[in-house]
């Protein structure tokens, strides 16, 4: 069974704090993704990575950065959290191309 | 214009009903299509892929119309357990997936 885990289910941070969200997958997937999900907007891609140390911007990368030092781990970093980054953050992984994405349980981040 | 558009619903149907959702996509070069299911406060999970010839999995049938750029999902004999949000997903063949905002289904006893 594919497993994608995320470091926290719920997180509350203050404006201006640096926030790290961690994602780990155990299926040796090359591709990993970070999305945020907001009501009425669906899932929007923040960044994705197709190999270790490789990354590409998604549709809404502003205010975020990522790190992929090992194949199984993909981190999302909010350099200086703002209230408009309050959201559900979902990590996913897949083999390259058109294969199914497997999602982690999500991290609900609240920035106050 | 959004890459993928869905009617948000909710669709409220009685048990045993047949219900259909449509989804339209904007990129005519899109290559792969999927329906995902998302339960309340849970992560999305793949329901089925959508092939050009159409495909069926038990009570679920998915169709693709490339000429009109839409995808459909038909659920027959609805069960209470089908209550969820259904996400339409389109892949552009460059490792990027575009998600619709989802259609909410409520199946009532």
- Which CA distances in Å does B47 have to A35, A94, B29, B62, B84? 19, 16, 23, 10, 11
- Find the residue in B nearest to A32 (Cα): B95
The 10s digit of each residue's pLDDT in B63-84 is: 999 999 999 999 999 999 999 9
Cβ-based burial of A101 (10 A; exposed 0-12, middle 13-18, buried ≥19): buried
Distance CA A89, CA A86 (A): 9
Count of beta carbons in the 10 Å neighbourhood of residue A1: 5
B93·A98 Cβ contact <8 A:
yes
List strands edge to edge, sheet with A73-78.
A4-6, A19-25, A73-78, A64-70
- The answer to whether the CB of A7 falls within 8 A of the CB of A22 is yes
- pLDDT category of residue A100 using cuts at 50, 70 and 90: confident
The 10s digit of each residue's pLDDT in A4-37 is: 999 999 999 999 999 999 999 999 999 999 999 9
Token code pair at residue A52: 């270790």
- The closest of B4, B7, B19, B18 to B70, measured between CA atoms, is B4
- The closest of A31, A32, A25, A19 to A87, measured between CA atoms, is A19
B95·A104 Cβ contact <8 A:
no
Instruction: Spell out, as residue ranges, where chain B has pLDDT lower than 70.
Output: 1, 93-94
- The answer to whether the CB of B29 falls within 8 A of the CB of B93 is yes
Residues of B whose CB is below 8 A from A42: 4, 87, 99-102
Distance CA A56, CA A71 (A): 15
Token code pair at residue B82: 């089908």
Token code pair at residue A92: 């996913």
- Find the residue in B nearest to A42 (Cα): B101
A31·B46 Cβ contact <8 A:
no
Q: What is the pLDDT of residue B93?
A: 67
Q: Is the pLDDT of residue A1 over 80?
A: no
Residues of A whose CB is below 8 A from B95: 31, 48, 50, 56, 96-97
- % of chain B at pLDDT higher than 70: 97
């Amino acid at each position: 069974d594919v497993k994608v885990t995320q470091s926290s289910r719920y997180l509350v941070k203050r404006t201006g704090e640096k926030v790290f969200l961690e994602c780990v997958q155990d299926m040796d997937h090359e591709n990993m993704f970070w999305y945020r999900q907001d009501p009425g907007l669906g899932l929007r891609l923040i960044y994705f990575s197709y190999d270790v140390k490789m990354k590409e911007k998604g549709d809404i990368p502003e205010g975020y950065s990522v790190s992929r030092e090992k194949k199984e781990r993909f981190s999302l970093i909010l350099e200086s959290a703002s209230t408009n980054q309050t959201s559900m953050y979902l990590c996913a992984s897949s083999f390259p191309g058109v294969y199914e994405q497997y999602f982690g349980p999500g991290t609900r981040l609240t920035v106050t | 214009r959004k890459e993928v558009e869905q009617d948000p619903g909710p669709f409220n149907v009685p048990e045993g009903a047949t219900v259909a959702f449509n989804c339209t996509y904007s990129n005519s070069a899109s290559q792969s299509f999927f329906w995902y299911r998302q339960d309340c406060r849970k992560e999305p999970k793949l329901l089925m892929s959508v092939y050009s010839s159409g495909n069926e999995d038990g009570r679920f049938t998915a169709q693709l119309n490339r000429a009109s750029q839409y995808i459909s999902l038909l659920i027959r004999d609805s069960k209470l357990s089908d209550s969820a949000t259904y996400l339409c997903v389109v892949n552009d063949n460059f490792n990027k997936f575009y998600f619709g905002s989802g259609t909410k289904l409520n199946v009532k006893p």
